[in-house]
Structure 1
Amino acid sequence: MINRRHILTSAATSAALASLPMAALAQGRKDGVVLAMTLEPPGLDPTAGAASAIAEIVHYNVFETLTKINPDGTVSPLLAESWEVSPDLKTYTFKLRKGVKFQNGEPFNAKSVKFSFERAGADKSTNKDKRTFSGMESVAAIDDYTVVILNKSLDPDFLFLMGQATAIIVEPKSADTNATKPVGTGPYQLASWNKGSSVTLAKWDRYRSAASVRMKKVTFRFISDPAAQVAALLAGDVDAFPRVTPRSVAQFKANPKFQVVVSGSRAKTILAINNKKKPLDDVRVRRAIAAAIDRKAVIEGGADGYGVPIGSHYAPGALGYVDTTGINPFNIEKAKALLAEAGVKTPLELSLKLPPPPYARQGGEVIAAQLAKIGIVAKIENVEWAQWLSGTYANKNYDLTIISHVEPFDLGNFAKPGYYWGYESPQFTALFEKIQNAPRAADRAKLLGDAQRMLANDAVHGFLYQPQWITVANKNLKGLWKDMPVFVNDVSALSWS
C-alpha cells in the first residue's frame, strides 16, 4: 500500500507538472485565497462536536473568544480588552470590548458571555470541554462590559482555555443553528457550504477592524487523498495546504514557487486502545501491544520522519514533560511473554479502525505488520471521518485506532467518565485534581510528571509520537502561522505580497 501511494503521488505530480501553466499558482487572486484541508467538518459549531476540522474553518474567522492564542502559545486580548486574576487564581474579572456586534446585528455584551459559558457547562451540553465550564461556580454579568467568573478550583491554563474554539462567544438567538448557519463576531461570514467539496467564507464588512482584513473571499477545499493534495498545489488550485501529507515535502522544497513551513505542535499521535474491551482490559495485553511497537519505524512510515517519540500523553516542551519512552520500550520477546502471561492464545484478532489522514492510514499499515510479529492480527478497516466520529469516538465501536489528539491541555480526558477509550482510574482522577489545584508551577510540573508515568505504566495506549505539521503554500502568501499550539487557520492575517 505504501509503495502504491508513492506511485500514485509520482503519477499525479508528473501529470500536474505537465499541465502547469506559467502564470498559475493563484497569482491573480489578490483579494482571495484557497486553502485545503484533509478532513471535512461534520458541522460548523465548535461547541457541539469534537472534530478539530470545525475550528480550522471558524475559529477566529467566524467566531471569537475572550482571549486569543498566538502561534507561540502566548495569550492576548480579543473580545476581552483586559482581565484581572484574584490572588487564589480562582476569580477572573474580564473587561469586555465595547461596540462589538454579532453578525445578525445583536450586541455583544456580558450577557452573551454568561449565556455562552452557562450553556457550555449545562447538563445537556455536548461541548468537548464541558468540564471547564461546569467547573465554573458562577458567571456574573456585573454590567454590560464586565464579567466575573468564579471557578470551583484553580486552573493555571484558564486564560489559554478561554481562547480555544470550545470557548467561543455565541449569540443566544442563533446558538442552536450555528452548526449550519454560524453567527459570530468575527471578520468572516459563511457564504456557502458545498458538502463533500468546500466551504467558502466572505468578508464581513461591518467587522470592527474590517479595514485590516485583506482577503474578501476564503475557500476551504477538502482533499483527503495524498496524491490529490500534491496535484492541487502544483496546479495552483490551492494556495496553501496546512498539515499536508509530509510525503510531499521534498519536491516542494525544491520548487521556488512554494514555501514550506515545518510547525511544532503539542499534538500526540497515539494507537488508542479500547480499555473496556477484553482482553484489552488487561494491562499486560496493553503493555504487550506497546512493546511490539517500534516508534521510530512508525514515524518513518506514518509521518515520513516528522515526529518525536513519546511514551505518554504529553508532548516535549510542555511544562513538566518527562521522557517516558523507556517504560514500555520496543521489545518483541517481552511482548510475546506478556501475552502468554495474560493467557492470550494467538492469533488474536483485533479491529484497527483508521480515519482518512495519511498519518493514520500509513501508520496503520506499519503497526499492523509489527503486531503480527507477536501473534496479533490487526484487521484494518479504513473509515471515513464521519464514521470515525460516530462509530469509534461516540459509540466506542473499536479495539484499536490511530488518531492525533491536538489539544495542548487534554490530560483531563483520562479523568473524564465515559470517554471513548474507556480508561477509568480513581488514582489518576485524584492525581489530576491535585494538578488542577497546585498554584505553584514547580508543584504542577512534578505532579504532571507523575501523571505521565502513571499513564505509561497503565499502558492506556500505544503512545507513538509528537507530530510536526507541514504547511505548503504559494511563496507570495504572507501571514501563515509558524507554529500551531492549536489548530486554526487565522485567515484575517493573510495577505499577498
Structure 2
Amino acid sequence: MIKKLQALLALICLLASAFTATASTRDDIRVGIQLEPPALDPTVTAAAAAGEITYGNVFEGLTMIDGQGQLIPRLASAWSLSSDGLVYTFTLRRDVQFHDGSPFNADVAAYSLRRIIGEGSLNPQKKWFEKISSIETSDRTTLLIHLHQPDSLLPFALALPAAVIVHPDSAATNAAKPIGTGPFRFKSWQKGNRVNLVRNGDYWGKNAILKAASFVFMRSSIGTENMLSEGLIDGLVSVTRATAQFSQRPDYRVIPRRLENKLILAINNGRAPFDNLQVRRALSHAINRNGLLDIYGDDVKPELIGSHLVPSHPAYVDLTKRYAYDPQLAHQMLTDAGVADGRLIKLSLPPTDYGRYGGVRIASDLEAVGFRVELEQVDWKQWLKKVFTDKDYDLTLIMHVEPMDMNIYARDDYYFNYDNTEFKAIWKRVLATRTPHDLNLMLGEAQRKLADDAVNVFLFRRPEENLMHRSLSGFWENSPIPSFVLQDIHWTK
C-alpha cells in the first residue's frame, strides 16, 4: 500500500513538474488591438495600426525611436552631418537580409527613400522628406542624402514607421504580405480576425525570445471582454472603458505607456465658417475640456494641452489657459462673425472610445453656442478616405499619435487646410537649428502661433495603458512611436 502511494505521489509530482515547465516556457503571445489597418505597410497608409503591428517587428528604419524616446541607430550604424548642414552621410550595417533572403545595402536604402519622395508616392509622411534634393551611394554601406535646405529633424523622420526600409522586389506586395528585415517575419493575415508573425531565425541583431505573435483585432467591447475572460488573448493594447475592469484581476497588470498622442477637435480651416479666425477661436472657448477628461473612465487621467505638443516634451509650452471655457463669449464671437444660430455643421467621428463618448459631449458644447450638429459615424477606412485624403469634413475628433509632428501645419495639402506663411517661416527656422536649446526655443514659438491661430481645438494627451498577463515581461513602457515592439517580450515563471 505504501509503495502504491509513493508511486502515485511520484506521478503527481511528475505531472505537476511537466505542467510547470510547459507554463513557464510558453513562447507565443496573443495581443488584442482595437483597429485593423487597411494595409500592413506603414509606408503607404496613414493608419497607425499598421505601424503598431509591424514597426520594429517586421520592418526597420535606418534609425529608430527607442522605448525611452531616444533616437538610436538601427539599419544605419552611424551618421554625420556636413558643416553646411546640407549633406547627411549614413554608414549602414553589413550582413543584413530581408525575410525572403534579399540583401540589404545602400542601393536598397536609396531605393526606399527615393520611393518616399518620388512622384506619385503614397507615403503618409512624405512631407517630412521634402528638403531632400538627391540621394546617392558611394559603396554598399554608405548612403549620402543631399538637402536643398537644412533639416535638423531628418534623422528623427527616418525613424518614423513611414520611413521603414523596403526592398524593390517586395515593395508592391508589402501592404498584404510585408517583407522586412526585422526580428519577426509575416506569416498570415486573417482579415477581420488577426495578423500572425513568427520569429526570424536569420535576424542580423539580437534574436527575439518569443517564437510567434498574433495581433488580434477587437471588433466589439463585448467580444474583447469575452476574449479576456476566456483567456483567448494575453493582453490588450490600450485599455478602454469596457476593459478597465480587468485591471483588477490578479492574472493581469496594467502597464503605463507614454505616447505622444494628442486628442484634437480638428477643424477644416478652408471651409466656411471655419476659415474665419474669430469662429475658430470661438470654438476653443466653446469646448469644455475639463468635461472631457473622464471619457475613458475614472482610472485614466488625461493631461490638458493648449497646442500640438505634449507636456513631457522638453520644448512644451503651457498654453492651456489661452482659451478659457466661456460659452457666452463663444456665442457672442460667433454672432459677431455672422454665424447665425442653427447653422448646421457635421462632426465626423472614428470608431474609438473618444469618438463614441467624446463626440456626444463635443456636440452638446457646440449646440450650446448656437450650432446644430450632425454626428457622422465613420469607420477607419472611411475616415482616411473622406476626411484625411479628400478633406470633405467640417470638424472631426481625432487622436494624432505621431511624435514631433508639428510639421504637418506647414503642409499646404494637409487635411486641416491651414495655409499660413508666418507659421511656415517659423518652421523653416526650426529646421535650421543646430542645437537642442535653439530647437526647443523655436518649437515654443511654433506652439504659440498654432494656439493664436486656433488652428484646431487642442484637448488633451491621453496616458495610454496596456493590460497584460502578469507572467509577461519585456515591454516598452514608454513608446513615443505607436508600436508594440515584441523583441524583448517573454514569459516568466
For normalisation by structure 2, the TM-score amounts to: 0.91
What 5-or-longer segments of structure 2 have no aligned partner?
Answer: 1-18
- Pairwise CA distance, 1:453: 1.5
Aligned with 1:255 (options 237, 241, 249): 249
Q: Which amino acid aligns with 2:271?
A: K
- Pairwise CA distance, 1:27: 5.1
Q: Counterparts of 1:293 and 1:311 in 2: how far apart (Å)?
A: 12
Q: Counterparts of 2:320 and 2:344 in 1: how far apart (Å)?
A: 26
Query: Which residue of structure 2 aligns with residue 444 of structure 1?
Result: 439
Query: Which residue of structure 2 aligns with residue 145 of structure 1?
Result: 141
Cα deviation code 1:392-435 (max 9, x no counterpart)? 11111211111111111211111111211111111111111111
Aligned with 2:196 (options 200, 203, 206): 200
Cα deviation code 1:265-322 (max 9, x no counterpart)? 2111101111112111111111111111111111212565431111111111223211
Q: Which amino acid aligns with 2:361?
A: V
Q: Counterparts of 1:441 and 1:190 in 2: how far apart (Å)?
A: 38
Q: Counterparts of 2:64 and 2:443 in 1: how far apart (Å)?
A: 25
Aligned with 2:289 (options 284, 292, 295): 295
Q: Counterparts of 1:80 and 1:442 in 2: how far apart (Å)?
A: 26
Query: Which residue of structure 1 aligns with residue 262 of structure 2?
Result: 268
Q: Which amino acid aligns with 2:368?
A: K
Query: Which residue of structure 2 aligns with residue 59 of structure 1?
Result: 55
Alignment check: 8 A CA contact 2:210 2:489 kept: yes
Alignment check: 8 A CA contact 1:198 1:222 kept: yes
Alignment check: 8 A CA contact 1:302 1:366 kept: no
Aligned with 2:161 (options 158, 162, 165): 165
Q: Which amino acid aligns with 1:490?
A: V
Alignment check: 8 A CA contact 2:43 2:122 kept: yes
Q: Counterparts of 1:225 and 1:152 in 2: how far apart (Å)?
A: 49
Aligned with 1:222 (options 214, 217, 221): 217
- Pairwise CA distance, 1:374: 0.9
Q: Counterparts of 2:297 and 2:87 in 1: how far apart (Å)?
A: 42
The sequence identity of aligned pairs, in percent, is 36
Query: Which residue of structure 2 aligns with residue 10 of structure 1?
Result: none
RMSD: 1.9
Matched, 1:316 2:311: yes
Alignment check: 8 A CA contact 1:36 1:241 kept: yes
Aligned with 1:358 (options 353, 360, 364): 353
- Pairwise CA distance, 1:88: 4.0
Aligned with 2:272 (options 271, 274, 278): 278
Q: Counterparts of 2:293 and 2:392 in 1: how far apart (Å)?
A: 26
Q: Which has the larger Rg?
A: 2
Q: Counterparts of 1:376 and 1:227 in 2: how far apart (Å)?
A: 34
Matched, 1:93 2:83: no
Q: Which amino acid aligns with 1:368?
A: A
Q: Which amino acid aligns with 1:281?
A: D
* 1:70-81 mapped onto 2 (5 Å cutoff): 70-81=66-77
- Pairwise CA distance, 1:224: 4.4
Query: Which residue of structure 2 aligns with residue 393 of structure 1?
Result: 388
Q: Counterparts of 2:152 and 2:238 in 1: how far apart (Å)?
A: 29
Query: Which residue of structure 2 aligns with residue 16 of structure 1?
Result: none
- Pairwise CA distance, 1:494: 1.1
Query: Which residue of structure 2 aligns with residue 461 of structure 1?
Result: 456
Q: Counterparts of 2:55 and 2:267 in 1: how far apart (Å)?
A: 30
Q: Counterparts of 2:476 and 2:229 in 1: how far apart (Å)?
A: 21
Q: Which amino acid aligns with 2:256?
A: V
Aligned with 1:133 (options 101, 109, 129): 129
- Pairwise CA distance, 1:158: 2.6
Query: Which residue of structure 2 aligns with residue 5 of structure 1?
Result: none
Q: Which amino acid aligns with 2:135?
A: V
Query: Which residue of structure 2 aligns with residue 110 of structure 1?
Result: 106
Query: Which residue of structure 2 aligns with residue 412 of structure 1?
Result: 407
Q: Counterparts of 2:279 and 2:479 in 1: how far apart (Å)?
A: 35
Cα deviation code 1:230-269 (max 9, x no counterpart)? 33223211112121215543x3343221110122221111
Cα deviation code 1:347-372 (max 9, x no counterpart)? 12211111111122211111111112
- Pairwise CA distance, 1:117: 0.5
What 5-or-longer segments of structure 1 have no aligned partner?
Answer: 1-22
Alignment check: 8 A CA contact 1:303 1:467 kept: no
Q: Counterparts of 1:76 and 1:445 in 2: how far apart (Å)?
A: 20
Cα deviation code 1:188-224 (max 9, x no counterpart)? 22211111111111222222347x3222221111114
Cα deviation code 1:73-116 (max 9, x no counterpart)? 11222211222333444432222111111122211000001111
